[in-house]
Structure 1
Amino acid sequence: MGTVIMHSVVSVDGFIADENDEVGSLHDWYFSGDVPIVAGGDHAEDGGGIRVSKASAEYVQSMWDSIGVIMMGRTLFDLVNGWEGRPPAGDHVVVVSHRPKPEGWHPEASYHFVEGAKAAVEKAQELAGERTIAVNAGEVGGQILAAGLVDEVAMDVVPVVFGSGKRYFGGIDGHHLLEDPDVVLQGDRVLHLKYKVRR
């Protein structure tokens, strides 16, 4: 089975967005470099204008290339309208939601609406095969980590302080240990960190 990686861009004080779901300058580094990131598979494109620094390019491109499935919560799906059926990476999207896929919404897109974190991970593993499952951070990511279903945590830490907002780990309860980081990579205006989850 593929590795389940909880991943997102985050402020140094642990927020992925403000109270209004605005990301502010968190994603600026995605658009300020010289190296384009290409969305994987046969529908390779310019990644929607994503251009990162040379220092970040290999890490980001290899991460995107490894993804088979993106898992997201319904809030993010609604905010970005499911990227109009074209996820930034991977071939499939699993949306953790009590509500079904909107009627008539991009019937060609491989988007699966599943109730509950455990069932959603099972569906994602079925779709991903040996490829990576990228779980978006936030409430859903925190629930999946708390259920013991996350293998690695990847954070792109941006030097900005939000003070409040939507937390990287959502409202997770309890104590969860990670291993020492196996990736520590400094890009321009971002620090890439990756940790295995201690079992």
Structure 2
Amino acid sequence: MGTVFMHNVVSVDGFIADRNDDVGPLHDWYFNGDTRITGGGDQQYDHSGAGSAFKVSKASAQYVRSMWESIGTIVKGRRLFDLVNGWEGHPPTGDHVVVVSHRPKPEGWHPEASYHFVDDVAAAIDKAQKLAGGRAISVNAGEVGGQILAAGLVDEVAMDVVPVVFGSGKRYFGSIDGQHLLEDPYVVIQGEGVLHLRFRVRR
């Protein structure tokens, strides 16, 4: 079974976007460095249509490249799917996407894309594991990510911490209740404008 890790870029006070879903400066570090994430360019990761290839610091490039190459399936909530229109059927990494939603895939939406809609977080992880073929499962942080963590289905928590304070907005862990213990971080990498952290969930 592939490792299930929860991931997002996050402010130092724990927010992944403001109340209007604006990420502000959280993603600036993706474009402010001098090293492409992949050696031959970032075409496979750039689905914006704007040709905005990722250029980060060397330390970040090594870390992000390794993470992205490990992913087989992304699990996300319906809100993010709607905000980005499912990346137009081309996820930033991985081969498959599982969307947690009580509504089905929009009729006629990119029938060629390996996107699967389920209405339960446990079913979402089960489906993601089957699709990933032993590769990692990346769970987008937020409400759905928090529910998956609370259900005991997350193995690791990965954060790209950006030096900005939002004060309010959409929380990394959503509205999760109770304490959930993590091990000491086993990844601590300082990039330019970002700190990469990765923790195993304590069982």
- Indicate the TM-score class for this superposition, using the shorter chain for normalisation: over 0.9
Q: Contact conserved, 1:92 with 1:111, CA < 8 A, in 2? A: yes
For 1:36 and 1:84, the matched residues in 2 are separated by 23
Name the aligned partner's letter for residue 47 of structure 1.
Y
Candidates 135, 140, 150, aligned match of 1:136: 140
Tell me the alpha carbon deviations over residues 17-52 of structure 1, each in whole angstroms, 9 at most, x when there is no partner: 00000000000001111222249xxxx726321111
Name the aligned partner's letter for residue 34 of structure 1.
D
Q: Contact conserved, 2:182 with 2:200, CA < 8 A, in 1? A: yes
Structure 2 residue aligned with 1:9? 9
Tell me the alpha carbon deviations over residues 122-168 of structure 1, each in whole angstroms, 9 at most, x when there is no partner: 00011012100000000000000000000000000000000000000
Unaligned runs of 5+ in 2: 47-52
Q: Contact conserved, 1:70 with 1:93, CA < 8 A, in 2? A: yes
Structure 1 residue aligned with 2:50? none
SS of the equivalent of 2:43 reads coil
Unaligned runs of 5+ in 1: none
Candidates 72, 76, 82, aligned match of 2:80: 76
Kindly report structure 1 stretches of 4+ aligned residues shifted beyond 6 Å.
none
SS of the equivalent of 1:2 reads coil
SS of the equivalent of 2:189 reads strand
For 1:38 and 1:188, the matched residues in 2 are separated by 17
TM-score (ref. length: structure 1): 0.96
Q: Contact conserved, 2:37 with 2:62, CA < 8 A, in 1? A: no
Name the aligned partner's letter for residue 98 of structure 2.
V
Candidates 63, 67, 72, aligned match of 2:71: 67
Name the aligned partner's letter for residue 56 of structure 1.
S
Q: Contact conserved, 2:44 with 2:92, CA < 8 A, in 1? A: no
Structure 1 residue aligned with 2:123? 119
Structure 1 residues 44-55: aligned runs within 5 Å: 45=43, 47-48=45-46, 49-55=53-59
| Cα 1:51–1:103 shift into 2, 3 Å | same
TM-score (ref. length: structure 2): 0.94
Identity of matched residues, %: 76
For 2:93 and 2:2, the matched residues in 1 are separated by 15
Superposed CA RMSD in Å reads 1.2
Find out whether 1:146 has 2:150 as its counterpart.
Answer: yes
Q: Contact conserved, 2:76 with 2:140, CA < 8 A, in 1? A: yes
